[in-house]
Amino acid sequence: MMKRNVLFICLALLFLSDMSAQSQEPEYQTIFSKRANRNGSGVRGYATIMHAYHPVFATNKTHHFNGGGIEGGLNIKKKLSIGLSFRSVAELGDDFGSNVVIDPDNSRSAMMFGLNSTYRHRPEKAIHMAYSVFTGGLLLQELELVGSNQYKSSLACGFTINPMVKVEANLMSWISVYGGIGYRFSQNKEAFGVNMAKDLNGAIFQIGINFGRIR
């Protein structure tokens, strides 16, 4: 029995040491490099610039939102990214809300701030999959023209969760690009004719550029 336990322990140690060696020395490939890059382990900083298109299918109308955002945080062994993200969207069109037509003198937009977590599957490949979740607060703002060059501002707060699936491409050892599709879940009480659960929920199409070394 003792010999069998010792054998199992030795096999387990060999397996763990092999896995550790593989995880410590991945070969990170890039599209514009002639050879693979080594040593992508460790914790490194990163920054992301993104742009998103967000259609919302409400009653008798499709609302079109465009927006952008920035993000910064830490890459952990290139597989896991955790960072703070700020995003802003504004509608393209003349109305907003399931049953509301906006006056031309009104303007509405939404801002989001929160935490974004991303897991990358086989990031050592030049092209790979990534899965992310953004969770944070949502601030909806309405600007109403009440006089000559004078606006009245109204604010409403909410909560949003945005899961997303991405395809990433490592262009060089310090830059990658991605395209993704996700869904925005928003929740709060109705504010100035806008129901966040109805009027802000919907698919998200996003593109972005990541800056941060992988070797």
Architecture of domain 26-211: Beta Barrel (2.40)
Please name the amino acid found at residue 156: A
| The predicted structure's pLDDT at residue 17 | 53
**Closest listed residue to residue 169, CA positions, set 210, 109, 212:** 210
| The predicted structure's pLDDT at residue 43 | 74
Tens of pLDDT along the chain (215 residues)?
554 555 556 555 555 554 454 445 567 788 886 555 555 556 789 999 999 988 766 555 566 778 899 999 999 878 899 999 999 887 765 444 443 334 445 566 788 999 999 999 988 889 999 999 999 998 877 776 666 767 677 777 888 999 999 999 999 888 999 999 999 888 776 665 566 666 677 889 999 999 987 65
| The predicted structure's pLDDT at residue 28 | 78
| The predicted structure's pLDDT at residue 94 | 47
| The predicted structure's pLDDT at residue 27 | 74
Q: Are 23 and 41 in contact (CB under 8 A)?
A: yes
Which string of DSSP letters, residue by residue, matches 38-85? E---SEEEEEEEEEEEEEEEETTEEEEEEEEEEEEEEEETTTEEEEEE
| The predicted structure's pLDDT at residue 59 | 53
Kindly tell me the number of DSSP H helices and DSSP E strands found in the chain.
2, 10
Report the sign of the C-alpha dihedral through residues 42, 43, 47, 52, in that order.
Answer: positive
Answering whether pTM is above 0.85, one says: no
d(CA 84, CA 5): 47
